[in-house]
Amino acid sequence: MKSPSESYFHLHLVSDATGETLINVGRAACAQYANVLPIEHVYPLVRSMKQLERVLSEIESNPGIVLYTLVDKEIRERLKVRCRELGVPYMSVLAPVVQLFQSYLGGEPTPRIGGQHSLDASYFKRIDALNFTVMHDDGHMTEDLEAADVVLLGVSRTSKTPTSIYLANRGIKTANIPLVPNVPLPSNIESLKAPLVVGLVASAERIVEIRQNRLLGLNAGGSSTSYTDREAVSEEINFSRRLCARNGWPLIDVTRRSIEETAATIVALLAERRRRAIAET
């Protein structure tokens, strides 16, 4: 139900590529306004005047803020002119950044449509990392964990899999190992040298809540097991804390963290680890 204090506005995101940059920027800006909700209109792959005219018709029908990333000058100018005629605010989200780069680096940029999505070495690195991560999800293929960049450990419902996939999309090969009561860990886990091993924990209350919701979703809400028992869950968490402390592995409490925040912390730990390794050589 809509709160009486909430209001809506139309947000038009016009891109000649996938629109991911616009979506992220738009949502980051909207997040600063707790009681204002955007109605997103996303228009990817706008690369012709005919496509643009359909976009302009939508903007005219639903006036609001227009954000765009368009390389073609003619299409870009047509959008700007029409927005001025309609009296709607508009902005190129990359223009200020590109201007800053230009003032520092000198010379003219050479724009490419969807340049950040080109099939370069970085792209294939991400694909390789995603393949590795999918194959090493939830404790599978543990015999070659040494090939991972990051190994995540945690009890059930600490967001190991989504965090692994998010890291993989950054080109980081990630394996994740569940910590299950009475199930032994892979024999090689405590002797790993190459990967950064990170433990994920959350409060017992949070884990119990998530597990109960999961059982309800599986129509097993009436089951009474140690899976949702507060004391049993607390012991699982304590075991994971002791394991990480014994091996000197960093531990991240994900109770109030988003997957993006957890991943950012892991990326920072990985960067610091690599800096130390370089300094020691």
On the question of pLDDT at 122 being above 50, the answer is yes
Contact status, residue 63 vs residue 80, Cβ threshold 8 Å: no
* Domain that residue 163 falls in: 121-280
Backbone φ and ψ of 122, nearest 5° = -65, -40
Across 142-169, average pLDDT: 96
- Mean pLDDT, residues 99-122 taken together: 73
Q: Is 199 annotated as a binding-site member?
A: no
Q: Is residue 139 in some structural domain?
A: yes
- Separation between Cα atoms, residue 273 and residue 143, nearest integer Å: 23
Q: What is the pLDDT of residue 2?
A: 44
Average pLDDT, the chain: 91
User: Is residue 46 situated within a structural domain?
Assistant: yes
Whether 161 has a binding-site annotation, put simply, is yes
What integer pLDDT is reported at residue 34 of this predicted model? 86
Number of domains composing the chain: 2
Residue 157, annotated as binding a ligand: yes
Percent of the chain surpassing pLDDT 70: 93
- Cβ neighbors of 204 (< 8 A, separation 6 or more) are 230, 233, 234, 237
What's the token pair of residue 272?
Answer: 């610091």
For the entire predicted model, the pTM comes to 0.73
Of the residues 97, 116, 135, the one at which a domain ends:
116
β-strand partners of 64: 10
Task: Determine, yes or no, domain membership for 2.
Answer: no
pLDDT for res 1: 39
Structural domain ending residue among the three candidates 116, 140, 161: 116
Question: Cα separation of 18 and 235, whole Å?
Answer: 46
CATH code of the domain containing 98: 3.40.50.2300
Is 57 annotated for ligand binding? no
Report the CATH number at residue 185.
3.40.50
In a domain, 103, yes or no: yes
69 is in an annotated binding site: no
Q: Tell me, what's the pLDDT at 121?
A: 77
213 and 269 assigned to the same domain:
yes
Is 162's pLDDT higher than 70?
A: yes
β-partners of residue 42 are 13
Q: How confident is the model at residue 148 (pLDDT cuts 50, 70, 90)?
A: very high
14 with 140, same domain: the answer is no
- Whether 208 has a binding-site annotation, put simply, is no
State yes or no: 151 annotated in a binding site: no
Q: Does any domain span residue 15?
A: yes
- The response to whether 154 counts as a known ligand-binding position is yes
Q: What is the pLDDT of residue 167?
A: 96
Of 92, 116, 140, the residue at which a domain comes to its end is 116
What is the per-residue pLDDT for 10? Answer: 97
pLDDT band, residue 236 (cuts 50/70/90): very high
